[in-house]
């Protein structure tokens, strides 16, 4: 059963499950996997697939025929809703496109900034206890909008050696270029270093288990990464106007992700707190992932009763949750007060799963309190910024000695020389 606390009974900094886990044992394993993939390339991937995924593959690359057949097998309803979701995600992310700018400071000085898409991006799509076609959309669509020229997706195969039809159909709709049957740390290593079948990419995005997270951290610098994602989190701020059935269902929507996931309600209503606790117990047995959700709620779930909605907002800002729902009277009025949150859901009819699948904003979000300093995945994650400057001979002559003096003050005489030598040029 979910635990209920008074606001003064709990350490606000430890509301969510954010224990620092020792990665020492797993890190050694991941380093060995990376070494094997760098050295043996495809051969290592085939071996790890047989050892870890329990399937012997003949080919790592999903063929065009496999994709077409999978697309035919999924229902029309699935294709329709994924296509609609794609339109919504595209519309939202197109608003994030940045424009180059240029400043003509004077006749002889031009300054500017240009945006360039990352050339090749790898997307990791988890397998394991669930299938995530939504992850395909949320990672591939912003990359396409940014202008990435090659998107390589990796995802673990099933025991029959195939990728789930829904994943392949979503990849086709989203415009993924290459699909690799490979998961785990070995897939991250393959994307970072390249193999005979897996193109080397410039950046890797997408969530995964602890081995994937460690691998992403270890290859960072060889390639870029989006973030190190931790267990899923939801925090709901609710007052007495909230519907207890809705709140309980939304808490469970995150609890079913992972036994380590955290679902928290912060409310100023004792009545709502008791009603949500009862409703959780009523709804839990109805879930197909009951065992996972049960452990998540019992171990990490919390209901915290505070004196006011303002105190709840203060607590939320300290916690910086991945998902934040505001189920209060006039939730829009609370929006300016929210400083730290990955994605915000306003009102009783904006449940978190709407954002996971369909609404448009990205569902790849900062976890573990990193919403204090980072943001959801966006078009920005798939572009690079380059600044430029151009001075005429006359404009440089006006400032060269001042800048050279600045360089001298740092002891960088070659910098100063590069400026002064242009003044020594024969007229």
Residues acting as catalytic residues: 322-323
- What CA dihedral angle connects 250, 253, 258 and 262, to 10 degrees? -10
Label residue 360 left, alpha or beta by phi (over 0 means left) and psi (-120 to 50 means alpha). left
| Integer CA distances (angstroms), 405 to 108, 109, 411, 419, 420, in order | 22, 21, 10, 10, 10
For residues 263 and 249, the answer to whether their CB atoms sit within 8 Å is: no
Long-range contacts made by residues 76-80, C-beta under 8 angstroms, separation at least 24? Answer: 78/166, 78/169, 79/169, 79/173
> Is-contact 371 340, C-beta < 8 A?
yes
Please give the Cα distance from 177 to 151 (Å, whole number): 5
Q: In 3D, which of 155, 131, 153 has the Cα closest to residue 82?
A: 131
**φ, ψ for residue 214, nearest 5 deg:** -65, -45
């Amino acid at each position: 059963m979910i635990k209920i606390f008074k606001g003064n009974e709990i350490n606000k900094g430890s509301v969510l499950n954010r224990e620092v886990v020792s990665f020492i044992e797993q890190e050694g394993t991941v380093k060995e996997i990376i070494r094997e993939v760098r050295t043996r390339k495809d051969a290592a991937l085939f071996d790890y697939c047989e050892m870890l995924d329990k399937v012997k593959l003949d080919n790592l690359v999903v063929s065009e025929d496999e994709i077409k057949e999978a697309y035919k097998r999924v229902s029309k309803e699935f294709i329709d809703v994924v296509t609609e979701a794609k339109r919504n995600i595209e519309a939202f992310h197109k608003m994030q496109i940045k424009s180059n700018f240029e400043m003509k400071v004077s006749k002889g000085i031009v300054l500017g900034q240009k945006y360039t898409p990352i050339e090749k991006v790898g997307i990791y799509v988890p397998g394991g206890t669930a299938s995530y076609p939504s992850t395909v959309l949320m990672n591939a669509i912003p990359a396409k909008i940014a202008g990435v020229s090659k998107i390589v997706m990796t995802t673990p195969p099933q025991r029959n050696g195939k990728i789930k039809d829904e994943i392949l159909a979503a990849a086709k709709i989203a415009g993924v270029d290459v699909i690799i049957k490979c998961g785990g740390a070995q897939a991250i290593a393959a994307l970072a270093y390249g193999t005979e079948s897996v193109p080397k990419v410039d950046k890797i995005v997408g969530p995964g288990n602890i081995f994937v997270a460690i691998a992403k951290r270890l290859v960072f610098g060889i390639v870029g990464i989006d973030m190190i994602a931790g267990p899923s989190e939801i925090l709901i701020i609710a007052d007495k106007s909230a519907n207890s059935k809705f709140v309980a269902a939304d808490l469970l929507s995150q609890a079913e992700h992972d036994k380590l996931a955290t679902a928290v309600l912060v409310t100023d209503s004792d009545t709502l707190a008791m009603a949500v606790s009862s409703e959780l117990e009523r709804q839990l047995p109805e879930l197909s992932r009951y065992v996972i959700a049960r452990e998540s709620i019992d171990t990490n779930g919390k209901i915290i009763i505070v004196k006011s909605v303002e105190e709840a907002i203060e607590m939320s800002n300290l916690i910086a949750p991945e998902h934040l729902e505001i189920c209060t009277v006039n939730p829009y009025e609370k929006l300016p007060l929210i400083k730290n949150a990955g994605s915000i859901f306003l009102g009783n009819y904006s449940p978190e799963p709407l954002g996971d699948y369909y609404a448009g904003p990205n569902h790849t979000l900062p976890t573990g309190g990193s919403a204090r300093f980072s943001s959801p995945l966006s078009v920005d994650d798939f572009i690079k910024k380059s600044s430029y400057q151009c001075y005429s001979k006359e404009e440089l002559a006006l400032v060269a000695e001042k800048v050279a003096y600045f360089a001298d003050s740092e002891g960088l005489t070659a910098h100063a020389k590069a400026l002064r030598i242009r003044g020594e040029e024969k007229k």
